[in-house]
A and B are shown apart, each in its own frame.
Chain A
């Protein structure tokens, strides 16, 4: 299983906190100590943030939604025996595709579709698609052969086998892909501001250009909170769906 044990995962989280969060916090404290009124300033961005939230959520919702709607069926199709030969090649293409920086994808999308929401959604959709397709495919391929043999031997049709046996047993891995995808999507969405699509990126990039760390911080914090909330919601949904069914412990 891709997600590993919870023990390993919690160790990875702590490692991440030490490597990323501690230096960031030190820097933050250094900036904030020069600005005693930082909290008031930060709170003054709340109305802006609320306005920008609509756009950010729209970008995220549409692109991630489309990614799920396309990615899950694509993963299912690729895992079918008829497509098994092309599936590995296709995965390689997706893997290579995912190494292209999202910024470059945004630039490409802009050169094709101009500026605004549409190219931004397209770029975010592409960035999000890979983990969903890959995990759906991997989850379905990892279903124990004995389960498939039993399902066939009892007289399930291909479709019945897929929805009664394969998908339910692939759900833990599939969900891990959805959570990764959602986090990537939300954290990448600020870049969309660069091609005029709006969202929290407006505050972050304006803050950078004006050398206003508080403004930047307001956008960054909002993005982080949204990413964590979305991940938490998906985790809760996953728990409800899977733990009750004993697919995760």
Chain B
């Protein structure tokens, strides 16, 4: 969809972007990541010709951007910037309709489109007649995205669009962006200096250093196999923990404890039997399931040994916040550590016990991910 071929930009002999070549396939979010001054914004702005290239070619939908009139080119490419740049002299509706107006759409059509976009971005239609300074920062940024999407361009360029939003709202707007992207499947080039944002939003990440492309890979490969020490330092020493965000609980269910019947306790089991089972499974806690297979609670080995007499039902503790197969593994691992469990029970939406997340399961999931990504990295 977007193809960079030996693209370079020099400012007074000093290269800002140095011989960069890569392709962004249609429908993917490519995050340009790097420290400030690495040329990521320059590279982005060369796509819609806000900055002229020194050499090389950029193709958008197979068409060389140099043969298209820059004004026409920009009207076909959505553009979102960190400072948002909503025009304070125009209402929200007029702001969203800027590109449709430039393209000569009828008023009814562009106004209908503005209303449709507000709905898409979950904004109150009442703000259509408001002016940008009257909106909150988050609302302004959503309107900025709506404005870029107005003429339904296949390509979006986003220059640190969520950089100026506070962390809580940033996470929310990032989730909304992902949901939106799943629906719209735009080809997006997204500039960021935040590794977490890149891992979260990017389907591919291009790491730049002093104008050179250092690594271009999907997030999982980037974490599993950083190309060089620079990338390693950039993704951080805690890259294993970051990697957990890319995995789900279902990826990390322990295969040794797959037999949910054999490694779960029934409420009427005696505590000594429970302790034996835990020792057999090599765990310091196990889940208690009722006869319908629903998770009822959990028993710790410590408890079972202390009481000896009695049945599981009387000594089980309430199950903490349920963990579901689709959940982010990072959150599950956090609660596992917080609760001091070696086997975190995972239950499905119906409350049925489906398996355990264990440290071994997590390690295997991380390894699997790395192995599976290896051929991709070699490409």
Seen from chain A, the residues whose Cβ lies within 8 Å of a Cβ on chain B are 144, 146-147, 149-157, 160, 164-165, 168-169, 171, 245-247
Contacts and interface: CB of A to CB of B under 8 A. Distances in A.
B362 interface: no
A171 B88 CA distance: 12
B230 interface: no
Given A155-B99, A156-B102, A165 B87 contact: yes
Most chain B beta-carbon contacts within 10 A, residue among A146, A154, A164, A245: A154
Contacts of A150: 79, 81, 84-87
B71 interface: yes
Given A146-B84, A165-B89, A155 B50 contact: no
Interface of B: 48, 50, 70-76, 79, 81, 83-89, 98-99, 102, 131, 133-134, 147, 157
A156 B50 CA distance: 12
Contact of A149 (B85, B88, B102, B131): B85
Contacts of B134: 246
Contacts of A154: 74-75, 79, 98-99, 102, 147
Given A153-B50, A154-B98, A245 B74 contact: no
A152 B77 CA distance: 12
Given A146-B81, A154-B75, A160 B50 contact: no
14 contacts: A146-B83, A147-B88, A152-B74, A153-B48, A153-B81, A153-B157, A154-B74, A154-B102, A155-B72, A155-B75, A156-B71, A165-B87, A165-B89, A169-B88
A192 B73 CA distance: 56
B87 A157 contact: no
Nearest to B132: A246
Contacts of B81: 146, 149-150, 153
Nearest to B72: A155
Contacts of B73: 155
Contacts of B72: 155
B86 to A, nearest CB: 8
A56 to B, nearest CB: 36
A144 B84 CA distance: 11
Contacts, number: 69
Nearest to A245: B89
Contacts of A146: 81, 83-85
Contacts of A165: 87, 89
B71 to A, nearest CB: 5
Contacts of B147: 154
A248 to B, nearest CB: 11
Contacts of B86: 150
Nearest to A244: B131
A245 B99 CA distance: 21
Contacts of B85: 144, 146-147, 149-151
Contacts of A246: 88-89, 131, 133-134
B102 A247 contact: no
Contacts of A157: 71
A154 B157 CA distance: 11
A143 to B, nearest CB: 10
Most central of B72, B79, B157 by chain A CB within 10 Å: B79
A146 B144 CA distance: 12
A151 B89 CA distance: 13
A153 B88 contact: no
Given A146-B84, A246-B133, A246-B134, A153 B89 contact: no
Contacts of A245: 89, 131
A124 to B, nearest CB: 32
Contact of B89 (A149, A156, A169): A169
- 7 shortest interchain CB distances as A-B pairs: A150-B85, A146-B83, A155-B74, A155-B75, A153-B79, A168-B89, A246-B131
Most buried by B among A149, A155, A156: A155
Given A146-B83, A155-B70, 7 more contacts: A147-B85, A147-B87, A149-B85, A151-B85, A153-B50, A168-B89, A245-B89
B50 A152 contact: yes
